[in-house]
Amino acid sequence: MADPKVLGIVLAGGEGKRLSPLTLDRAKPAVPFAGLYRLIDFALSNLVNAGVLRIAVLTQYKSHSLDRHITTTWRMSSMLGNYVTPVPAQQRLGPQWYTGSANAIYQSLNLIYDEKPDLVIVFGADHVYRMDPRQMIAQHLESGAAATVAGIRVPRSEASAFGVIKTGPDGRQVEAFLEKPADPPGLHDSPDETFVSMGNYLFSTDVLLDALRSDAEDPSSKHDMGGNIMPMMVDRGLAQVYDFQSNEVPGAAPTDTGYWRDVGTLDSYYDAHMDLCALVPVFNLYNSQWPILTHIPPHPPAKFVHEDDGRVGRAVNSVVSNGVIVSGALVRESVLSPGVRVEEHAVVERSVIMDNTVIGPHAVVRNAIIDKGVVVPAGVQIGVDKEHDRARGFVVSDGGVTVLGKFQEVTH
């Protein structure tokens, strides 16, 4: 199959409870990231950069901002039959919403029937990474596998928090899918490492259709891709793993190799932003050969003003978006989204500040995530005293990050 026809399906129905309050008003894949992007932009960019140009995004929870982002940003050439389209839960098979990721695809089989692809590639919508799926597709075709799952190597000591892939002696054939095992199996070529599922799958279409139909008829199934469909493939001897470490992304630096973040918690979301602020970023946004694509809002360039005694507008080791004004304030190791204002003598350190938030004069924001449209009054401190933060109704994560929701009121 020299040039297979590939349909992309992105699973974007996640509720994202562990990211609350960032998900109180939006779906998890629509959560902003790195100033300009939404989480879903990473999966979509990886697919589109690889030439997968027909993509259905399956949505469910609080999907309005996600639908709007996809329809206004991800416009493909309809003349060539290409598209990225949001597909809401349609209840085609009865009065029920999606009961799992496999059920979401099963309820949307019309997409596959209409497109008649040779292969179906299924990606999650809420991970931060770069990947060239063409190499996964090439291995799938070369190996003759019916199902291929992308696996990332992690230390065995950390693997119990994830879905784990146990491979055979050849390092490819999947022998078992294990959900958060207490004693994860080591790899044959690296006993101290374990394959963790990235939630990215590739299927030969006929095999996927058969598996989805079988799963739908099983009343004991949770109808989950990783929990049910892939174990079914393993039992039938049809599944192989693709080693993400072998993926070579055009233009990527050596420090980028193997970077993948599951930003499913407030602390992992925060840590991924701090990765961007490092002197040598652990994840490099500046790869023009494999760009992360999104809509860039029409703001003017960022501006830094004042150079008086004790009042200098400056940002150090930070990511600053367009439309930001830092007015006689200090920003250090932080990510500022479009339209943010940081007023005189304010200090923002190790924080993520989202669109159109205002940090008032002499305010201090430290180790915090502040969602869109928040006004921090003059002299107020956030993230300095965690008990005081909790008393004011702010969320404080397990890792000690103070988090404010969209338009949340701030008091002294």
Binding residues for alpha-D-glucose 1-phosphate: 98, 163, 179-180, 197
CB 3 within 8 A of CB 141: no
Please enumerate, by residue number, every residue annotated as part of a binding site: 98, 163, 179-180, 197
- Residue 325, beta-bridge partner list: 303, 341
Binning the chain into helix, strand and coil, the percentages to the nearest 5 are: 25, 30, 45
Beta strands in 118-215 (DSSP E): 119-124, 127-129, 147-155, 163-167, 174-179, 193-204
Long-range contacts of 354-363 (CB under 8 A, 24+ apart): 354/32, 354/406, 355/32, 359/329
Helix axes 40-49, 64-73, angle to 10 degrees: 30
DSSP state, residue 225: I
Burial readout 180-197 (b: 16 or more C-beta within 10 A, e: otherwise): eeeebbebeeeeebbbbb
- Distance, in Å, from the CA atom of 10 to the CA atom of 30, rounded to the nearest integer, reads 13
Q: Do the strands 54-59 and 260-262 form a parallel or antiparallel pair, or are they unpaired?
A: unpaired
Max CA pair span of the chain? 73
- Distance, in Å, from the CA atom of 272 to the CA atom of 264, rounded to the nearest integer, reads 11
Q: Do the strands 163-167 and 193-204 form a parallel or antiparallel pair, or are they unpaired?
A: antiparallel
Q: Do the strands 347-349 and 330-332 form a parallel or antiparallel pair, or are they unpaired?
A: parallel
Instruction: Pull the structure tokens for residue 40.
Output: 């879903």
